[in-house]
Amino acid sequence: MILLESIAAVSAWRRAAPSADIGFVPTMGALHVGHQSLIERSVREKDQTVLSIYVNPTQFDNPDDLRKYPNLLEADLNIARATGVDAVFLPRYEEIYADGFAYAVDERQVSKTLCGAYREGHFTGVLTVVMKLLNLVRPAAAYFGEKDYQQYELIRGMAKAFFLETDIVACPTVREPSGLALSSRNLNLDAKGRSLAPHLYELISTQHGDTEVVRLLTELGFNVDYVVTQRGRRYAAAKLGEGSSQVRLIDNVEKVSAA
């Protein structure tokens, strides 16, 4: 496994790659079993696999959230080696945003709903950095988890709209035995939050209507942003904790019938 720490290094590696059949897994690090499942699928399906680790500041609407994001680089590199990654791209802000984020990719419909309605500019940051990474790595396929299903929809739509020659592949959400969707942000939950968090998946999986799920989550102590059923899925976002210690959880399931 090699480390690529500059755009020049990525370009040189890509030119020398023995095969164009490259799989790509973009991440912000703090890798967990969910990330591993994406890597393992790429390793199975493609000749070579590239992993990127980059905490992208342009997608954070809350400075506290950016500050608290876990940094576990050495552990992440060990996971990458163990799962068969061929190259790890470690971008630097100065190169990725040499223009100072003057140019951006903005989607005007889906990105304004659900998480986009609560996190101003979030998806513009996501789409912009993913576009840059796809242009640099030029993979045959890029793998994304269904836990961030709205993100997956937007990236798939972007690839289609801009005629990118990369398949955007959705991979099933990986969950803890309790049902809690694996997320790097789970590391920030305190003991009380850990005990409450599984109720998010539990309740959105019931046949209760969206409004009733909001009520039940609120009674448990969640600060609910939304529970919305649309486009064949039920989406939810809610926070646990107080003040700057709040942790925001998102999840989604295939559409269930309302009671």
d(CA 191, CA 182): 16
pLDDT value, residue 233: 96
Look-up of token digits 């973009």 = 26
Any idea what DSSP says for residue 175? B
pLDDT value, residue 110: 96
Query: Up-side HSE of residue 135: CA atoms within 13 Å toward CB?
Result: 11
Domains located in the chain, CATH noted:
2-171 (3.40.50.620), 184-252 (3.30.1300.10)
Ranges of the chain whose pLDDT falls below 50 = 259
Q: Return the H-helix or E-strand segment holding 143.
A: strand 141-145
pLDDT value, residue 116: 97
**Known catalytic residue at 199:** no
Helix %, strand %, coil % for the chain, to 5? Answer: 45, 20, 35
Of the residues 32, 35, 122, 199, only one is catalytic, namely: 35
- Please name the amino acid found at residue 61: D
d(CA 48, CA 26): 14
Query: Beta 233-240 vs 223-230: how paired, if at all?
Result: antiparallel
For 97, list phi and psi in degrees, rounded to 5: -120, 55
pLDDT value, residue 231: 86
Q: Return the H-helix or E-strand segment holding 141.
A: strand 141-145
Q: What is the pTM of this model?
A: 0.95
